[in-house]
Amino acid sequence: MTWNWQQHDWPKFAWNPSRLATAEQQFLVGGGTFVGAIKHLGDEDRNQLTVEAMSKEALTTSEIEGEILDRASLQSSIQRQLGFAADNRRAAPAERGVSEMLVNLFKTFAGPLSDDMLFEWHRMLMSGRQGLTDIGHYRTGSEPMQILSGAMGSPKIHFEAPASAKVPSEMKQFITWFNGTAPGGAEPLPALTRAGAAHLYFESIHPFADGNGRIGRALAEKSLAQSLGQPSLIALAATILARRARYYAALEAANKSNEITDWLAWFAGTTIEAQKRTLALIEFLIDKTKLLDRIRGELNERQEKALLRMFKEGPEGFKGGMSASKYSTITSASPATTTRDLADLTVKGALVREGERRHARYKLTVPLRHVPHISVNERGEIIEG
């Protein structure tokens, strides 16, 4: 097998810009919509959006690699690093490390890429990691860097990256390319094209002993943020996680040739879908503010606590709806008090009841927002379905 980096045209990627033109335009329009929407958020909701988006990204970019982190610990760590009010929860090294990387990305997205920036991200990401010698620098091992699956005795090789000795020169060329294709660079590229190519390019080099996927997705986020001129806060990793098998298949297909139109089309559809997820979250927060403003001063502490707990679950809704037993657990209310509180919230129009008696479930009276799967077909059309 001859990999992309072994071919004569590496790393001169080729693609069909016309297939991506509509997607590029839609992404920029979505970016403008994002800017307009967040103007309607108060400081508290804007902070919630930032923390929620970043913690979801931290959770999902780790889950793609098979690492399950604690959401509350992540949110607490991000709040502290951003200077927002937070509890005294102590974050484990894994949660703290990925949080530090994403907060650093959030704060420094506009700056040029460098070896030192990547090394810092790697040190953060590998915080507390045992048994890994190459931390905070590119890999040095003599063994081939391979992506494998299957049985130990007869594994399938999905990809083999350049030897460790070649990584410094490959990364020097990559960093020059990344900075040169940025807005204002010598050869600027459209937003989705640059971010998709950057992710593939970086993953093809696979410069670190571990953490390449998470850092590669962070680079895509940095690229998108530079194109928009602000942190994008899009749910890129969450959307990739939802189609993880297709993500790996698309990367594997793309690492065999330097003609990358199909990969960029896949990445473009995924990124637009991710952007729509963030816009759905903003609309949900606006609806939350309107509802709470309408009934402000009419709720007791228990009712307010329960509503805020339901809103915390985001635009996809409180899983299973609020039941009497869940309300009692959240608020420590007696059964009789729970019944009165829920009935009152229904009368006030904060909740709507479905079912009767012990089967009754309560949902917020704000619309839930399902984001459809987005793809770019061979004619460059945006398909929702």
Residue 214: pLDDT band with limits 50, 70, 90: very high
Q: What is the pLDDT of residues 275-301, one digit of tens each?
A: 999 999 899 888 998 999 999 999 999
Q: What pLDDT is recorded for position 320?
A: 87
* Length reported for the chain: 385
The verdict on whether omega for the bond into residue 168 sits within 30 degrees of 0, i.e. cis, is: no
* Tokens of residue 157, six digits: 């090789």
| pTM to 2 decimal places | 0.90
Bigger pLDDT: 317 or 346? 346
Between CA 6 and CA 162 the distance in angstroms is 8
Residue 89: pLDDT band with limits 50, 70, 90: confident
Residue 287 one-letter amino acid: D
Residue 86: pLDDT band with limits 50, 70, 90: low
Average pLDDT of the residues in 215-237: 96
Instruction: Classify domain 4-282 at the CATH topology level.
Output: Fic-like fold (1.10.3290)
Region of 275 (left: φ > 0; alpha: ψ -120 to 50; beta: rest) is alpha
Could you give the 3-state DSSP secondary structure of residue 314?
Answer: coil
* Mean of all residue pLDDT scores within the chain: 93
Between CA 347 and CA 42 the distance in angstroms is 27
Q: What pLDDT is recorded for position 377?
A: 96
Between CA 55 and CA 72 the distance in angstroms is 9
Q: Where are the alpha helices (DSSP H) in the chain?
A: 17-38, 43-63, 71-82, 93-108, 115-125, 167-180, 191-205, 212-228, 236-242, 244-254, 261-294, 301-311, 324-331, 335-347
Q: Locate the domains of the chain by residue range.
A: 4-282, 302-385
The pLDDT > 70 percentage for the chain reads 99
Q: What is the pLDDT of residues 127-167, one digit of tens each?
A: 988 889 899 999 999 999 999 887 777 788 999 999 999 99
CATH class of domain segment(s) 302-385? mainly alpha
Between CA 133 and CA 146 the distance in angstroms is 18
DSSP 248: H
Average pLDDT of the residues in 357-372: 87
DSSP 6: G
336 by Cβ neighbours in 10 Å (0-12 / 13-18 / 19+) ranks as exposed
Average pLDDT of the residues in 34-62: 90
Backbone angles phi, psi at 364, to 5 degrees: -65, 145
Residue 268 one-letter amino acid: A
Q: What is the pLDDT of residues 307-333, one digit of tens each?
A: 999 998 887 778 889 999 999 999 999
Between CA 67 and CA 59 the distance in angstroms is 9
* Tokens of residue 217, six digits: 């997705």
